[in-house]
Chains A and B, each alone.
Chain A
Amino acid sequence: NAGVTQTPKFRVLKTGQSMTLLCAQDMNHEYMYWYRQDPGMGLRLIHYSVGEGTTAKGEVPDGYNVSRLKKQNFLLGLESAAPSQTSVYFCASSLTGQYSYEQYFGPGTRLTVT
Chain B
Amino acid sequence: AQSVAQPEDQVNVAEGNPLTVKCTYSVSGNPYLFWYVQYPNRGLQFLLKYITGDNLVKGSYGFEAEFNKSQTSFHLKKPSALVSDSALYFCAVRDAGGYNKLIFGAGTRLAVHP
CB pair A108–B90 under 8 Å, yes or no, is no
Q: Is the CB of B94 within 8 A of A101?
A: yes
Chain B nearest Cβ from A21, distance in angstroms: 14
CA–CA, A4 and B46, complex, Å: 13
Is B43 a contact of A102 with CB atoms below 8 Å?
no
User: What residue in chain A is nearest B47 (Cβ atoms)?
Assistant: A102
Q: A: which residues have CB within 8 A of B?
A: 4, 31, 33, 40-45, 48, 50, 56, 58, 90, 92, 94-96, 99-108
Which residues B32-82 have CB closer than 8 A to chain A? Answer: 32, 34, 36, 41-46, 49, 51
Whether the Cβ atoms of A102 and B106 lie closer than 8 Å is no
- Give the total of B residues in contact with A, Cβ under 8 Å: 23
Partner of B43, one of A31, A42, A100, A107: A107
Interchain CB contact under 8 A, B107 and A42: yes
B44 contacts which of A44, A48, A58, A90 (Cβ < 8 Å)?
A: A90
B39 CB to closest chain A CB, in angstroms? 11
> Contact: A102 with B34, CB < 8 Å?
yes
Whether the pair B100, A42 counts as a contact (CB closer than 8 A) is no
Question: Considering the complex of A and B, which 6 residue pairs feature the smallest CB-CB distances, nearest first?
Answer: A105-B43, A42-B104, A94-B100, A105-B44, A43-B104, A42-B106
B90 nearest CB neighbor, chain A only:
A42
Q: Contact: A4 with B43, CB < 8 Å?
A: yes
Closest A-chain residue to B106, C-beta based?
A42
Set of chain A residues within 8 Å of B51, measured between Cβ atoms: 99, 101
